[in-house]
């Protein structure tokens, strides 16, 4: 009988210790989830900053292509385009853009803008300018 009481007492003590352990594990998992969420927000913000910086640099480089012959201007714009595309591909690789999922209306609008903006990369000259302006107008970012 004493052995049975000792066994039940031990089982009870172990179950209480298990409850505390499970509660602690739950808190650890919750903190880990919060850290993942915070990291995802930081990556998203870093991606936006990089994309905006690249867009500004591209606009500056394109507007600087105003002198010389038509062929020289086209070559200048082509160099600016290639540099921009290279920087954007590098940024997408760095931030794993293809793995980010649109969670909010703002994220979905940004993805639609990026898709429209990427379609402009196949155009040249005034057609490209109109395409970029239309993408910005349609999916304006705040």
Helix (H, G, I), strand (E, B) or coil at 6: helix
Asked if residue 4 is part of any domain, the answer here is no
What gap in Å lies between CA 57 and CA 128, rounded to an integer?
A: 16
Claim to verify: residue 58 and residue 107 sit in the same structural domain = no
Q: List the structure tokens of 59.
A: 């606009």
Q: Which of 37-51, 55-69, 87-101 has the highest mean pLDDT?
A: 55-69
Contact at 8 Å (CB) between 47 and 97? yes
Claim to verify: residue 49 and residue 93 sit in the same structural domain = yes
Domain interval for residue 58: 31-100
72 or 10: which leads in pLDDT: 72
Asked if residue 19 is part of any domain, the answer here is no
Half-sphere CA count of 134, side-chain side, radius 13 A:
11
> pLDDT by residue (tens digit) across 57-91?
998 998 898 888 989 988 998 999 899 989 988 88
Model pTM score: 0.58
Q: Is 51 exposed, middle or buried (0-12, 13-18, 19+ CB in 10 A)?
A: buried
Q: How many CB atoms lie within 10 A of CB 119?
A: 13
Asked if residue 109 is part of any domain, the answer here is yes
Asked if residue 69 is part of any domain, the answer here is yes
Domains in the chain, number = 2
Claim to verify: residue 96 and residue 109 sit in the same structural domain = no
- Whether the predicted pLDDT of 97 surpasses 60: no
Residues in contact with 96: Cβ distance below 8 Å, sequence separation at least 6, in sequence order: 43
Q: Would you place residue 20 in the very low, low, confident or very high pLDDT band (cuts 50, 70, 90)?
A: low
């Amino acid at each position: 009988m004493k052995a049975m009481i000792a066994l039940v007492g031990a089982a009870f003590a172990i179950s209480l210790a298990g409850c505390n352990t499970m509660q602690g594990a739950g808190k650890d998992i919750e903190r880990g989830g919060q850290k993942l969420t915070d990291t995802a927000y930081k990556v998203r913000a870093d991606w936006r900053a990089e994309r905006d910086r690249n867009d500004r640099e591209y606009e500056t480089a394109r507007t600087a292509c105003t002198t010389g012959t038509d062929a020289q201007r086209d070559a200048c714009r082509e160099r600016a385009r290639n540099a921009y595309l290279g920087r954007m591909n590098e940024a997408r690789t760095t931030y794993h853009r293809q793995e980010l999922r649109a969670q909010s209306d703002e994220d979905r609008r940004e993805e639609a803008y990026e898709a429209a903006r990427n379609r402009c990369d196949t155009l040249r000259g005034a057609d490209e300018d109109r395409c970029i302006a239309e993408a910005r107008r349609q999916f304006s970012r705040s």
